[in-house]
Amino acid sequence: MTLDLFEKFDPILNDYNSLPDGAENPFTVSMEKVLSPTTAIINGRETILAGTNNYMGMTFNPECMAAAQEALTDFGTGTTGSRVLNGTYNSHKQLEETLKEFYDCQHAIVFSTGYQANLGVIATLAGPKDYVVIDTDSHASIYDGCAMGNATVVRFKHNDPDNLDKRLNRIRRDDPEAGILVVLEGVYSMLGDQAPLKELTRISKKHNAYVLVDEAHSIGVFGETGRGVAQEQDVEDQVDFIIGTFSKSVGTIGGYCVSNHPKFEALRLVCRPYIFTASLPPSVVASATKALELIASTNLRSKLLDNSMRLNKGLCDVGFNMGTTGESPIAAIVIDDQDTAIAFWGEMIKEGVYVNLALPPATPNRMNLMRCSLSAAHSFAQIDFMLEKFTLVGKRLGILQDKVASLTG
Amino acid sequence: MTQNVDEIFERICTLLKPFNKKDIAIGKDTTFSIDLELDSLTVMDMLSEIEDEFDITIPLNMLPDLETVGQFTDAVHKLLSE
Ligand SMILES: Cc1ncc(COP(=O)(O)O)c(C=O)c1O
């Protein structure tokens, strides 16, 4: 009897098949039309987008769109090749120059996605004799970079400097010469908490480890010129590699790694997720370049954080159990059981608000989350609309109790 | 200080108590995923506690090969004697 290769997926398929059909299924919903960074037509209804990671609202920025359209006309729809073959245009090099200026650093390499940047940099830098030390709540791309490489992988407790110290101590005790790469994130995407980079980098450096910080959710959002949490916490000189993505604040797609290591460019010769895939299309490169210039020169950060604080505070005030504090652009309601979370999501989409349903194992501590990511492009009126709908649905599902009635009169 | 396998097994069993929700009898053949019904995240958390208890580094890479309490015990024994 031959084995069905798909048999192992039966448990997950069973779960999946028990979800509501079509319109109310969070994993098959599609946008019929996107009207702006914050609104779309979904199920024939105008819907406020409250979960898109479009922190700066760059997707419809007129300057970015014009740059992309010009590049599309002049250079076509795609490069059809790897960066090391026919896929490097002047604009790819210009984008890397822009990144160097943005981070005020020596080297920048652009990848086709942030996922591939983590995959490539982690798997390639840490070889068979080296160690990668990661936070337990790391993004999947970091875990996958570890799985793809040959280094010894060690985890430390989320954002816990003492726990990191303990693990680095052991590694050094057993192997004084080992190369060690500590991988951190500026902002953790589910609960929006920042890594305590001052402590974590100090401990890493004490043990002579390299530090990589993934700023996927913090570029544009934190730091005086929008470079992220390393800049915000004033530890950029302690960070050896910064990884980021163009798929959130920058409003398009692509990933990058920047560094001052003198031999950094070697990665172009050995990093397989950089070499064995096609480079970004010219229109994407053009809009990313323009967006980086805009992020460096305009300050949308305070507007974004004001929006987030308004939603977080409002949700907390009506009595939701919040996983976030409002100090990052994420607002996440913790829902006790998965079925209620799925139902909550369905009710919200019917009310015209799109949020992210985040379930284990993608969430820390097995939480079920209704996760919003705010945008600087949201108006206060839109935030208040979200609040109204969250409250309505919270009551409908019995999550918000009498306390609410008295608060809202 | 190297410890014998039985001592290590006993200490691991003690550590496993909070993870043994159904209070089943733990032997060396007990599996984490089927008998103890632990998901991969929980197994990783347990691994961290065992690292701290024995003051060793257990690489995450070893996890796929550690399905039973006995295999875990042998792995810790080996890491302690290195
Ligand atoms: C922390 C983190 N790193 C990397 C990525 C991957 O980014 P990209 O969308 O560019 O592949 C994401 C996005 O999901 C992320 O949240």
ipTM of the complex: 0.90
Question: For helices A282-297 and A90-103, what crossing angle results, to 10°?
Answer: 20
Domains A7-55+299-396 and A61-297 share a fold: no
Q: How many CB pairs under 8 A join A and B?
A: 32
Ligand 1 center to residue A326 CA distance, Å?
A: 21
Which residues are CB-contacts of A74 (< 8 A; sequence separation ≥ 6)?
A282
A361·B60 Cβ contact <8 A: no
A152-206 tens-digit pLDDT: 999 999 999 999 999 999 999 999 999 999 999 999 999 999 999 999 999 999 9
* Percentage of chain A modeled with pLDDT above 70: 98
A2 confidence band (pLDDT: 50, 70, 90): confident
Percentage of the residues of chain B whose pLDDT score is greater than 90: 67
Query: Which of ligand 1's atoms lies nearest the C-alpha of A185?
Result: 1
**Residue A404: what pLDDT?**
46
What SS3 class is residue B50?
Answer: helix
Mean pLDDT of A139-150: 97
Contact A65, A283 (CB under 8 A): no
Q: Which residue of A has its CA nearest to B63?
A: A153
What distance in Å separates residue A335's CA from the closest CA in chain B? 20
Report how far ligand 1's centroid is from the alpha carbon of A273 (Å): 15
Which residue from A136, A170, A366 is facing B55, i.e. has the nearest CB?
A170
User: Does residue A89 or residue B38 have the better pLDDT?
Assistant: A89
CB atoms under 10 Å from CB of A260, counted, come to: 15
Spatial contact of A192 and A328, defined as CB atoms under 8 Å apart: yes
* Domain range list for chain B: 5-81
Q: Which of residues 102-161 of A touch B (CB under 8 A)?
A: 136, 146, 152-155, 157
Cβ of A366 within 8 Å of Cβ of B41? The answer is yes
Cα dihedral across residues A78, A80, A85, A86: positive or negative? negative
Q: What is the pLDDT of residue A56?
A: 97
Q: Which of A116, A198, A209 is nearest to A154 (CA)?
A: A209
- Residue B2 has a pLDDT of 59
* Segment A229-237 long-range contacts (CB within 8 Å, at least 24 positions apart): A229/A186, A229/A187, A229/A194, A229/A195, A229/A197, A230/A186, A230/A197, A232/A194, A233/A194, A233/A196, A233/A197, A233/A198, A234/A198, A235/A197, A235/A198, A235/A201
pLDDT of residue A403: 53
A373 C-beta closer than 6 A to ligand 1: no
Provide the chain B residues 1-30 that lie in CB contact (below 8 A) with chain A. Answer: none
Query: What pLDDT score does A92 carry?
Result: 98
B39 phi-psi bin (left φ>0, alpha ψ -120 to 50, beta other): beta
Catalytic-role residue among A92, A107, A139, A217: A217
- Answer for the pair A81, A279: CB distance below 8 angstroms, yes or no: yes
Chain B contact for A176, CB < 8 A?
no
CB–CB contact B41 A152 (8 Å): no
DSSP state for residue B36 in the 8-state scheme = S
User: A331 - beta bridge partners?
Assistant: A372
Alpha carbon distance A133, A210 (integer Å): 10
> pLDDT band at residue B45, thresholds of 50, 70 and 90?
confident
Q: Confirm if A219 and A228 have CB atoms less than 8 A apart.
A: yes
Report helix, strand or coil for B68. Answer: strand
Please name the CATH architecture into which domain A61-297 falls.
3-Layer(aba) Sandwich (3.40)
Average pLDDT over residues A327-343: 95
Mean pLDDT of chain A: 95
Question: Min CA distance, B43 vs chain A (Å)?
Answer: 12
- pLDDT for A300 equals 92
Q: Which of B43, B46, B57 to mutate to test the interface with A (most CBs of A within 10 A)?
A: B57
pLDDT at residue number B1: 53
pLDDT category, A224, cuts 50, 70, 90?
very high
Contact assessment for residue A354 and residue A42, using Cβ atoms and an 8 Å cutoff: yes
Q: CA A201, A204, A208 angle in degrees (round to 5)?
A: 130
Verify whether residue A107 is a known catalytic residue: no
A206 CA to middle of ligand 1, Å?
29
Higher pLDDT, A283 or A25: A283
Q: How far is the CA of A138 from the centre of ligand 1 (A)?
A: 11
Residue-level pLDDT at A401: 79
- Active-site residue flag, A350: no
A155–B60 C-beta distance less than 8 A? yes
CA neighbor of A383 nearest in space, from A289, A315, A284, A296: A315
Please tell me the least confidently modeled range out of A275-289, A335-349, B27-41. B27-41
CB under 8 A, 24+ apart: contacts of A17-22: A19/A342, A20/A342, A20/A346
Domain boundaries, chain A: 7-55+299-396, 61-297
Q: What's the predicted TM-score (pTM) here?
A: 0.95
Q: Which fold has domain A7-55+299-396?
A: Aspartate Aminotransferase, domain 1 (3.90.1150)
Q: What tens digit of pLDDT does each residue of A83-113 get?
A: 999 999 999 999 999 999 999 999 999 999 9
- CATH architecture of the region B5-81: Orthogonal Bundle (1.10)
Which chain A residue's Cα is nearest to B47?
A155
Chain A contact for B48 (CB, 8 A cutoff): yes
Question: What pLDDT does residue A66 have?
Answer: 98
Q: Is the per-residue pLDDT at A397 higher than 90?
A: yes
- Residue A200 to residue A240: CA distance in whole angstroms: 13
Q: How far is the CA of A245 from the centre of ligand 1 (A)?
A: 6
Q: For testing the chain B interface, which of A133, A155, A359 should be mutated: the one with the most B CBs within 10 Å?
A: A155
Per-residue burial over A173-210, b if 16 or more Cβ lie within 10 Å, else e, is: eeeeebbbbbbbbbbbbbbbbbbbbebbbebbeebebb
